[in-house]
Structure 1
Amino acid sequence: MAGMFIGEHTFKVDGKGRVSIPADFRNELTEGDPQAAATGRPRMVIVYGHESQKQLIVHTFEGFRALAEEIRGLPRGSKRRIIMERMILNLAKPIELDNDGRFVLPQMMRDKIGLDGTAYFAGMGETFEIWKPETHEAEQASFAEDWLAEMGPNANPLSLLDEAGDL
């Protein structure tokens, strides 16, 4: 499995929906796809999710395969498995980068998150997210406000490591 996606990037989306992947993210995608060494074009899986999801969640190919195996490990017919199959596996699309490190973001996905000319890439560790920049900014501000109200103005996010599982 690949290392991690960190940081933030903003890239233009052209009229055909082509967008470049940040170089450091591209390296992680290459590490997370065993076929990339042979083809030079890593694959990734984009989960566009249910109606209320405001961002696209991007997994390395192997990371998504591992997630699918975890879902497959749930009891067949269980509510948890059905939810995850319908909200993750069913609402996902594998995509391959071109030789220039770009991909075409399908119109349906662009429409879903309201993406017009610019895409915001947010590193989330094992995955990264693609947002409309204004939506991400509003969501991030709301999240930070809620968190600071709960934890106090001098809150340190690293303190949450000591509370694993408490949230």
Structure 2
Amino acid sequence: MAGMFIGEHTFKVDGKGRVSIPADFRRELEEGDPQAAETGRPRMVIVYGHDAQKQLQVYTYNDYRALAAEIASLPRGSDKRKIMQSLILNKARPTEVDADGRLVLPQALRDKIGLEGMAYFGGMGETFEIWKPEVFEAKNASVASALIAEQGEDFDPLSLLNDA
């Protein structure tokens, strides 16, 4: 696994579903696709997952191939493999950055997460996520409230590393 997607960005989505990809995310996508240097248009894979999933998860081309290989290494017919095939391999869409550094999100994917007007990009390390900004804010506030309620107001997120 290669990339390191970090930070958060919000960009306008036009009527055709085109949205700029943050420049630092584009660089990671380029590093994660061996053909990008040649084509100038890095490939990526968008996983839209199960019906309740409210975000799109974006992998570099190489990272998605590595994930697919991990899934293929699970025992054939196992429940884990079937679930991963159904929600990761089947519910995915390969695409590429356009010549202007944008991602074109098909209407079906925009509809799935209720995306219109603006898109929130959140770096998640190996991947990045695309959310409707209001949905992300509500989810983030809910998670933060739960952690503070459980851990206290002086909660340090780095303390979670000690639990690993």
The runs of 5 or more residues in structure 2 that have no matched partner are none
- Are the aligned partners of 1:47 and 1:57 in contact in 2 as well (CA < 8 Å)? yes
Kept in 2, the 8 Å contact 1:2–1:29? The answer is no
CA contact (8 A) 2:3 2:127 kept: no
Q: Which residue of 2 aligns with 1:110?
A: 110
Sequence identity, in percent? 71
SS of aligned partner of 2:59 = strand
Alignment correspondent of 1:129 = 129
What is aligned with 1:96? 96
Uncovered stretches (5+) of structure 1, i.e. residues with no partner:
none
Q: Considering only aligned residues, what root-mean-square deviation do their CA atoms show, in Å?
A: 0.7
How big is the shift at 1:2? 2.9
> Which sits farther off after the overlay, 134-143 or 146-155?
146-155
Alignment: residue pair count: 164
Q: Distance in 2 between matches of 1:77 and 1:148?
A: 41
Task: Give the Cα separation in 2 of the matches to 1:104 and 1:76.
Answer: 35
1:141 lines up with 2:149 in the alignment: no
Distance in 1 (alpha carbons) for counterparts of 2:103 and 2:5? 18
- Give the alignment of 1:66-81 within 5 angstroms: 66-81=66-81
Q: CA deviation at 1:152?
A: 1.2
TM-score normalised by structure 2 residue count: 0.98
When normalised by structure 1's length, the TM-score is 0.97
Q: Would you say the 8 A contact 2:3–2:60 is kept in 1?
A: no
